Amino acid sequence: NMVIMTNRPLTKKVIIRFMSVKNKNGFEVSEALQFLKNVDKEIIPLFEQLTLTKLSREYDYFHSLTRAIIYQQLSGKAAKTISDRFIALYHGKDYPSPKDVFDTEHEILRSVGLSNAKSHYVKNIAQAFMGCAIDAENIDNLEDEKIIQQLTSIKGVGPWTAEMFLIFTLNRPDVFPLGDLGVQKGFQQFFKLPDLPKPNEMEKRAEKWRPFRTIMSLYFWKVVDGPFEW
């Protein structure tokens, strides 16, 4: 529901947003691309037709997660309208704090267009950040799986949302969301498969791309050229 599929062939250069050239963990895009070219010659055409540009690292984790909940299962325009109304509830603030949201009555959250479930979920996230469920101060030092474990302990935050957080908020280099339809479609189209690939098939092929599977995720999204809202 996050990607609009097209059958556009890879015939022109396009630009996709990506992580900074070097992140906190020392990951360099140029080195990653060279590594991938060396381990899998078949994917080289992908790199020749798509150009990577900087993807901003985000540090307001509460903002990232609540925005993800708001945008889920909605078009970008509809989601932005609801998001703007949500932020406007907190007069004069660029974005509300966890306590602000936690203290907001459920019906007020519903009044800006959030569904009943999403209203509960953003409150759950707020509560997690106010308590000990999310170690926000130390999250950069945690392994990917530990972060996923913490995030998915919050009702309303599933594995897909946690994986998107790793990619688009923390810019982690080795995330390959097997359950994402856009990645599946991109994989299918690039490798000219008759049907959507099964997760175990994708996982097996992706083993050689470790520790830079995030790059491949972004390329496969771009193969289907769908708008991605995170």
CA distances from 57 to 75, 163, 166, 170 (A): 24, 15, 10, 6
> Which of 205, 191, 223, 175 is CA-nearest to residue 12?
223
> Which of 199, 206, 106 is CA-nearest to residue 160?
199
Q: How many CB atoms lie within 10 A of CB 59?
A: 12
Phi, psi of 2 (to 5 degrees): -100, -10
Q: Residue 159: what residue type?
A: P
Active-site residue, from 100, 180, 195, 225: 180
Is there a catalytic annotation at residue 195? no
Helix (H, G, I), strand (E, B) or coil at 60: coil
Q: How far apart are CA 64 and CA 71, in angstroms?
A: 11
Annotated catalytic residues are 180
